[in-house]
């Protein structure tokens, strides 16, 4: 295969031919020589630009790329991401286990030896039964005061249990936070459904004020120890409207139900359970007494109504507290401090 002839080689051949036949190649030399010089000048930069001394391969398009910038790629259109679809309904969670759907109390104030509060709840679970317990703690504390085990309870239906405050012995008086907890057979603990609370506030008191209505403590003559004809006043008078309900300040047993025309009128004596005290209620409205001797009553249970029977100048409750037995070895004490404490506990 013949070697390629470049512009410089053509120029050399032309000059040599002109020397041999000046007359014959004079026109050729005048025309070809400038053309060859021009081509040589154009070819020189490409030859010097190569670092290896060889020719560059032609471009894919077949044209020369000498002195031209590479074409810029066409700008890509920005892709818009589709917004994520929002799930309808509650979001499912990977965590299983029992779920609390309802939790409430029938009453938020609980009296020792009184009517219990009903703890109502409903738990959903794939398991038919879960172990349930109630935990009582003081507000602001995480330490439990007591834990009440309710045992195995059916799921998927409303449950109701009585809470007295004496399940593990009488609770100290005060405010509490009651929390419900549960666990299924796989050890998974109770979760709350949206908007459902697993705690309720609860107060627990040992005594109740003996009147369920408006009252006043009266003047100096209504106090314990104020002078009477030939004796001292042995109780505290609570002035109230006739018919105001009288309730038991403490659960216990009724010792006496009687009538004294020249003294206390219709009266009742109550022996408080678990304490060495008798409580006495006098001047009760005729026909209002609801208890009988030997009957057990709860804290807060209705005994009768305020009246003005016996030796009385107007509707009021004459209330006495005896340490020991009433006229059976005991003695009366001023009931006002107790009444004020019971009134404050509400």
- pLDDT tens, position by position, 109-162: 999 999 999 999 999 999 999 999 999 999 999 999 999 999 999 999 999 999
Would strands 316-323 and 296-297 be described as parallel, antiparallel, or unpaired? unpaired
Instruction: Using alpha carbons, select from 148, 142, 146, 123 the residue that is nearest to residue 198.
Output: 123
Residue 66: other Cβ atoms inside 10 A: 11
> Where does the pLDDT of residue 68 fall: very low under 50, low under 70, confident under 90, or very high at 90 and above?
low
- The b/e string for 114-152 (b: 16+ C-beta within 10 A; e otherwise) is bbbbebebbbebebeebbbbbbbbeeeeeeebeebebee
DSSP state of 88: P
The span from the CA of 344 to the CA of 236, in Å, is 17
pLDDT at position 151, please? 97
What's the maximum distance between 2 C-alpha atoms anywhere in the chain?
177
Domain-wise residue ranges, the chain:
99-205, 220-345
Q: What is the CATH number of domain 220-345?
A: 2.70.70.10
Residue 280 Cα distances to 119, 178, 231, 288, 320, angstroms = 34, 35, 18, 16, 5
What six digits make up the tokens of 233? 């006043």
Mean pLDDT of the chain: 85
Burial class (CB in 10 A: 0-12, 13-18, 19+), 334: middle
The span from the CA of 306 to the CA of 284, in Å, is 5
pLDDT at position 230, please? 85
What six digits make up the tokens of 86? 């929002």
- Average pLDDT of the segment spanning 203-209: 97
Higher pLDDT, 38 or 107: 107
Q: Which pTM was predicted?
A: 0.71
pLDDT at position 229, please? 85
Residue 223: other Cβ atoms inside 10 A: 15
The span from the CA of 293 to the CA of 289, in Å, is 11
Residues 6+ apart with CB under 8 A from 336: 217, 223, 224, 236
Is a pLDDT exceeding 70 seen at residue 34? no
DSSP state of 78: P
DSSP 208-251: --SBSS--B---GGGSTT-EETTEE--SEEEE--TT-EEE-SS-
Which one of 2.60.40.10, 3.10.20.600, 2.60.40.2950, 3.40.50.10490 gives the CATH number of domain 99-205?
2.60.40.2950
Dihedrals phi, psi of 25, to nearest 5 degrees: -100, 10
pLDDT at position 93, please? 42
pLDDT at position 193, please? 97
> Where does the pLDDT of residue 164 fall: very low under 50, low under 70, confident under 90, or very high at 90 and above?
very high
Higher pLDDT, 71 or 244: 244
pLDDT at position 300, please? 97
pLDDT tens, residue by residue, 210-232: 999 999 999 999 999 999 888 89
């Amino acid at each position: 295969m013949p070697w390629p002839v470049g512009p410089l080689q053509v120029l050399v051949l032309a000059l040599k031919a002109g020397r041999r036949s000046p007359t014959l190649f004079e026109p050729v030399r005048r025309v070809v020589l400038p053309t060859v010089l021009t081509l040589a000048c154009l070819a020189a930069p490409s030859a010097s630009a190569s670092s290896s001394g060889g020719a560059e391969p032609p471009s894919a398009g077949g044209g020369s790329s000498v002195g031209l910038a590479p074409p810029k790629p066409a700008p890509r259109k920005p892709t818009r991401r589709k917004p994520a679809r929002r799930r309808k309904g509650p979001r499912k969670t990977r965590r299983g286990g029992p779920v609390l759907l309802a939790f409430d109390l029938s009453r938020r104030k609980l009296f020792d030896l009184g009517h219990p509060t009903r703890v109502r709840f409903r738990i959903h679970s794939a398991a038919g039964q879960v172990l349930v317990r109630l935990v009582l703690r003081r507000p602001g504390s995480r330490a439990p005061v007591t834990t009440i085990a309710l045992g195995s309870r059916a799921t998927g239906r409303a449950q109701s249990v009585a809470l007295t405050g004496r399940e593990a012995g009488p609770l100290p008086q005060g405010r509490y936070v009651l929390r419900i907890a549960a666990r299924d057979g796989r050890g998974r603990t109770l979760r709350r459904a949206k908007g459902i609370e697993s705690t309720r506030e609860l107060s627990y008191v040992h005594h109740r004020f003996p009147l369920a209505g408006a009252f006043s403590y009266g003047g100096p003559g209504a106090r314990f120890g104020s002078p009477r004809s030939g004796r001292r006043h042995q109780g505290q008078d609570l002035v109230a409207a006739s018919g105001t309900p009288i309730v038991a300040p403490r659960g216990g047993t009724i010792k006496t139900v009687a009538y004294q025309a020249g003294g206390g009128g219709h009266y009742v004596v109550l022996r408080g359970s678990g304490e060495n005290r008798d409580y006495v209620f006098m001047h009760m409205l005729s026909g209002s007494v609801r208890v009988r001797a030997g009957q057990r009553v709860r804290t807060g249970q209705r005994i009768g109504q305020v009246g003005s029977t016996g030796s009385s100048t107007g509707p009021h409750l004459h209330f006495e507290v005896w340490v020991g037995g009433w006229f059976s070895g005991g003695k009366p004490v001023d009931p006002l401090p107790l009444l004020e404490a019971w009134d404050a506990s509400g």
